[in-house]
Structure 1
């Protein structure tokens, strides 16, 4: 499946495939034409993906082939032991987590998981966690702290589940408790937005020493569609809403709300999942080594100071 802005690239790639078939099945020399077309495709890709609008990056973050949390975990780790349940209500399938071995170092990796097909999406509740999901995440964080293991969270959610039953079981309280407790964790905490980072649903696992975003992701208090429906009573203005929200990694970095951007392979993470996983693992290991050089008390102090300074204007 290609997105609207990808169609010119896909058309050229189909033409290139046709040329290669001709070269394979006949004696016609089209090597120069192939080189020219390959160069044209590379140039068009660079121009397209380096100049995406905010709404186009939102679309890429939702690409149906984009890697999800478990895809990265299984690709990055030599061994992953998933842990289940919040020890109170249930095991939320939208929130996954467990101990993972990354090049001989043990991490607690927690993430929001979406589904690939209709059945899997329903099983994962479309990546929207209930209160028990956030309580499970906190239980796993406390377990990591007990065994002195760094924590990595992979954020990819359209928001916390907004159903009545979720509110009855304390959705707001569960997220608020996570925010409070994550500030005080004694181990390094790295939070990475790998897809959608919407509202409190994302923030519930996003208080960390380092908060990073993949290049084609977004992080905001509200989705462009919901913003458009509130302001204009219609989803038709979602592109304008995306521009106004300033929700991309570049925007968030400029505003001081995240610590950096992790570049994706040209065309998006879905075009080279293995390559993206390597980049992600390298970033996690590098950032962890830096954070481990700090004393726990200093990390906590810096974490609190970083978030408390957000939104503060100094004249």
Structure 2
């Protein structure tokens, strides 16, 4: 076990603490669920799980278009993600999904895996696609009998063209945050703490683009990074994990919890803080629009730009920094 292991493990632990504290606070302040509330005096509301100040549907037409704020008329607000349909049984599936992502960390803990880099091959990429598809299918199976996928994920977003503005804003904001970390010396400090040299410590998938020569494997790897990963991860994290946690711990703790888990599941210390920041933006974009298209667009552009820069560097078109 090394410094990277402890950083990733700490992110998971902090995420679970956020969820646990949020759950307890929510319970003590009147969020506890009871299946059959006992009779109460007149005027006293029964204690049930509440999804605070949410709209019934994010796309209900306003009664008076002209009297609505500009953000509302554009389909934007700060609370567009509904969590009414989720029940305690969703916590079980959420825990199972997070557990799958924690398997590499647990294997490292028991010493099953070593520090040797994992070779990215055709089988590994296909295995990733199959695993992601399996987890998305589990989530769809859990939700589809309660709500149609189009309604659940806000696929009918009327203002979908806003994704072409939100995506670059999200990516540029993340790059600015990463540049700030670099200027602050965070990356250099972390590399020294981990005993890494220049150019070391990248995510395995990112570094694979500089080593893979097979054009078919390179194409499949690019497809997975730019299409499969953004779609599946957004459905899993913003589409399911975030609103389930929002149902039981509230919006702000759920944003932080989902961001920490999203960053930790990538099992990379150098990317941990930037990915956490990106995940915060992804959750914010989902809340602003009520549509999964917004975080998918940001995620696709971020991954696509990363892949594009890496391929351009491999082909000698640009020179990327070593760290």
* Fold shared by both chains (TM-score > 0.5): no
- Name whichever structure is richer in strand by fraction: 1
Q: Which has the higher contact order (CA 8 A, sep 6+)?
A: 2
User: TM-score, normalising length from structure 2?
Assistant: 0.30
Larger helix share, 1 or 2? 2
TM-score, length of structure 1 as denominator length: 0.31
